[in-house]
Amino acid sequence: MIIDGKAIALDVRTKIHEEIRAIQAKSADFKPSLTIIQVGARADSTTYVKMKLKAAEEAAIACNIINLPESATEFELLNHVQKLNESVDVDGILVQLPLPAHIDEAKVTSAVLPDKDVDGFGPFNVGELSKKNGEPTFLPCTPKGIMELLARYNVQIDGANAVVLGRSDIVGKPVASLLTKANATVTTLHSKTPQAQLELFLSQADIVVAAIGQPAFVKGEWLKEGSVVIDVGTNFVDDATKKSGSRMVGDIDFESASTKAALITPVPGGVGPMTVASLLENVVIAAKKHHVKNNATPKFTNPLKLNLVKPVPSDFEISRAQQPKKIDQVAYESGILDSELELFGSYKAKVGLHLLERLKNKKNGKYVLVTGITPTPLGEGKSTTTVGLAQALGAHLNKNVFANVRQPSMGPTFGIKGGAAGGGYSQVIPMDEFNMHVTGDIHAITMANNLLAAAIDTRMFHESTQKDGPLYKRLVPAKKGTRSFSPSMLRRLAKLGINKTDPDSLTPEEITQFARLDIDPETITWRRVVDCNDRFLRGITVGEAATEKGFTRKTGFDITVASECMAILALANSLEDMRERLGNMVIASSKAGVPITAEDIGCAGALTALLKDAIKPNIMQTLEGTPVFVHAGPFANISIGASSILADKMALKLAGTSPDLSEEERKEQEGYVVTEAGFDFTMGGERFINIKCRSSGLVPDVIVIVATVRALKVHGGGAEVKAGAPLAAEYTQENVEFLRAGCANLAKHISNAKSYGLPVVVAINKMSSDTDREHDVIREEALKAGAADAIVSNHWEEGGLGAVDLARGVIEAANSDDKHFKFLYDTAPSVEEKIATIAREMYGAGEVEFSPEAQKKIDTYTKQGFGNLPICIAKTQYSLSHDAALKGVPTGFKFPIRDVRASIGAGYLYALAAEIQTIPGLPTHCGFMNVEVNKDGEIDGLF
């Protein structure tokens, strides 16, 4: 009987097509894709490629061919393979063999990622196939096709005598492994086997697979009566009757063998079509795996164990005692691909933005915003709660979870405040790497900011020393006899309404318009920055050198995280969005009152180039091995004080679920993203929602408000708390009177948060001096104020284990239907109205008082078209009001606005209600005094 490979292959391809259609009926984005690379133009290779292309089209598999010339180098080929490895649009990669002699086939096949190696030739798949209990992702196509033929014709393999003639890595060795796994007794023969032995083994074989590459080599008289013969040979012999002058024959002498064999494959029409069908099956397997990878939410199942010690050691000692996972393992467990990861040493990495494209169809996970009550100078543990809650969700409840935090500035690190890695047994690790440099994003912000500052002063200098004609010629110089506008210059021309692209075609009036920015020095708002606390840079004079010809100007420095570039990094939704925002930054006005932007200076493209890597979020881990995105660090006083939108969007997709799931399935599988807003809810939370959420389009599912007994006692009338000073008795002993009075502050924050239509959970951050009765009072008052729950959490002392109850409460609230989200204000009302709404509704003010300077700025910004932006109000974090001395819940006070400034690129105006130092100073005893590097190159003395 003839084994009809064509018919079986057609059936396989038909079923593949049906399977693809069935999956696409549920998931339209399921589109299996194969890319074939062919080097050179061998006739047989071209024929095979055409066969594969046709079969792929019939099975509804997208197939792309990359044709490289015979002269292509190994490097060029490997570069193509690498790009295909990284492409989310490619499921399978096939390098058509044989390759030219100057290219190492083994190196090329090894370069294909195992999950795209649909040929099954890579070291992973070959190695797994050869192991006793190996699990290759893909079987080599021809051996896989052979096994399918045997199965379709009900050939008994278990216990059979099988001979494989040939020992190639493509057919002979793998088919022998598959037959052995199917419990056949397998003998491998080859071209060097003596003829007598060859005939002897063949005469005893129940199954013969011939893949020796010699036409009609095996004779019928050598075969056992009733044997099953699989002919893999593809040899061409002369045949004058054929138009081509040759015909294809196998390794078996078909005419004589067919009289002895019970089953035999013809050539052509036997194994060949099954090889192609098996390839397509492998592509669909790859596509399904990728589809699952791109839609499934992995459970977190690999926590790091904590060795809890009491009393709790220093943060630094705890961090140093824990051995972190390698960051590529953390990324893998989170669902991040190797191609999306850029390693920076062993414990931190950047994640490429193309991850968002790969996961674009997933439904977001749950979004948890952690804020706090009005704090004391000691801090109430928002960062620690953020990390502890994430550890509880991941390491103890097995949820896919991300903690998203800001990158700390090294100014406070070396000053007095310390880092922002959390604390106790709820930290980001390694904490020394977290608090120093990370991957250099803050340095990139510094460079970008200062490049623009230098460009501003330089432009004013050159405009002051040149007439319009020479200035224009130097701005647009001829290169090799040709003048052309840069992309940034074309944007400025468009802004001016000049629709010309030839620099020589501008009129004298247009040249003046284009070349002369005419910046008013008194209106310059852009300052230089440094990531260091340095009070002596708050006010400086630039241009003192003789070369600047007397063009001096008073200015100053800010700390890097106060730069608008940092705010843009946090608020950008893409690289393109960041480019537009950087160009839109207003740095001054012209003497005619026209706003001057970074685009006008011609600097925006260069700023983007400096920040093209900084825009990629950084991934680290917690003490219990759950993933953390560390990205952006906008100054919390004059900016949003939250981590980046892009980190949130990535985490929400990684923690998200397939769109095909039912609501119950989604609830069970979805993960959580825990992110933090700086200061209390009234500052950080309000900005997070009204500025960050407006830009991102994201909305929190639940708001967590962190409260401590200590802070609430302060608001209830307790003595002042100062950093470094001993605590008064009411803070170390039970005092329900102060506590209950202070809970009014908590109630106000709950009320403020609920005004956005979102559920609120209070996290009572436990301290050693607290009593159960005090915790009960907080819970009672929180529930009375409308919180969904108030839960004691001991994550500082116990890590994630101490926050499990909090995590369960957050899960319940996040899945609540009690959500009616709304912003606090629309952006259409006037600047004054928006400021008044925030001051009245969030702070409790009776009225707002605008200084003449503030009103003048508001009028200017409104005239310039910036009046419809959201508002960020800079004030003290130690009171709901503008006055740090007003504790509890002050009401009816007059709220002063002394100045208003613009962050047009970031997309908001910020109003100053207090004197905010944008570059802190150093204390007498500085943090840097304790820092050393030991003989092992490790940093000691941090906190």
So which residues are the catalytic ones? 52, 96, 119
Contacts of 472 (CB under 8 A, 6+ apart): 506, 511, 514, 515
Between strands 33-39 and 62-68, the pairing is parallel
Question: Is residue 261 classed exposed, middle or buried when 0-12, 13-18 and 19+ CB atoms within 10 A define those classes?
Answer: buried
Report the phi/psi class of residue 481: left, alpha or beta, with left for phi > 0 and alpha for psi in -120 to 50: left
Say which residues have a Cβ less than 8 Å from residue 690's Cβ, sequence separation at least 6: 823, 824, 825, 870, 871
Report the 3 state secondary structure along 346-362.
CCCEEECCHHHHHCCCC
CA angle, corner 915, sides to 914 and 920, nearest 5?
A: 130
Distance in angstroms (rounded) separating the CA atoms of residues 146 and 780: 72
| E strand intervals along 615-711 | 618-622, 627-630, 672-676, 702-707
C-alpha to C-alpha distance for 704 and 186, rounded to whole angstroms: 65
Mapped onto helix, strand or coil, the DSSP state of residue 320 is helix
CA-to-CA distance for 557 and 563, rounded, in angstroms? Answer: 10
CA angle 619, 624, 627 (to 5 degrees): 20
Distances (CA, A) of 602 to 57, 249, 517, 598: 49, 69, 11, 6
Q: Give residues with Cβ within 8 angstroms of 415, minimum separation 6.
A: 533, 920, 921, 922, 923, 926, 927
Instruction: DSSP letter for 882, please.
Output: S
DSSP code at position 788? S
CB 558 within 8 A of CB 919: yes
For tokens 């490289």, what's the residue? Answer: 68
Segment holding 67, helix H or strand E:
strand 62-68
Q: Show the tokens assigned to 806.
A: 């909090």
Q: How many residues does the chain have?
A: 943
Calculated CA dihedral for residues 602, 604, 607, 612, nearest 10 degrees: -140
CA distances (Å), origin 246, targets 41, 236, 241, 262, 489:
19, 6, 8, 29, 66
CB of 858 closer than 8 Å to CB of 900: yes
What is residue 936's three-state secondary structure?
coil
- Cα-based distances in Å from 356 to 362, 505, 648, 939: 10, 44, 11, 35
**Within 10 A of 548 (CB to CB), how many other CB atoms are there?**
13
d(CA 626, CA 367): 16
Question: What tokens were used for 676?
Answer: 């933090």
> What three-state secondary structure class fits 874?
strand
In angstroms, rounded to a whole number, what is the distance separating the alpha carbons of residues 83 and 76? 11
Q: Is the peptide bond before 508 cis (omega within 30 degrees of 0)?
A: no
- 189 phi, psi to nearest 5 deg: -115, 160
Q: Output the CA torsion sign for 721, 722, 724, 728.
A: negative
Could you give the residue ranges of the DSSP H alpha helices within 304-426?
315-321, 327-334, 354-358, 382-391, 410-414
